[in-house]
């Protein structure tokens, strides 16, 4: 095994540990303060979700009215 391969394995192990820690924090969070935020999906498209301000967990989808209010849309 060369240095690059060993380094990649170390990085992947660290990433998994960080992902587990983030998951633990998000699971114990009460999500008391949430904000509508623009995010990017796996294809790079912008999506809008309610996100916890403390742990960055995606709490729920906003309604059409909530999105209109968020962007300041008026009929």
CA gyration radius for the chain? Answer: 18
Residue 73's pLDDT is what? 78
Give the angle subtended at the CA of 66 by the CAs of 62 and 71, to the nearest 5°.
110
For the chain, the average pLDDT equals 94
| Residue % of the chain over a pLDDT of 70 | 96
Q: Which long-range contacts (CB under 8 A, 24 or more apart) does 5-11 make?
A: none
Each residue's pLDDT tens digit, 5-28: 999 999 999 999 999 999 999 999
Please state the rounded mean pLDDT for residues 26-32: 97
**C-beta atoms surrounding 2 within 10 Å:** 7
CA distance 51 to 65: 17
């Amino acid at each position: 095994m060369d240095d690059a391969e060993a380094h990649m394995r170390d990085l992947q192990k660290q990433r998994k540990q960080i992902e587990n820690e983030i998951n633990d924090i998000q699971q114990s969070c009460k999500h008391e303060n949430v904000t509508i935020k623009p995010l990017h999906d796996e294809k790079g498209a912008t999506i809008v979700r309610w996100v916890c301000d403390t742990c960055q967990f995606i709490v729920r989808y906003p309604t059409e009215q909530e999105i209109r209010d968020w962007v300041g849309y008026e009929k």
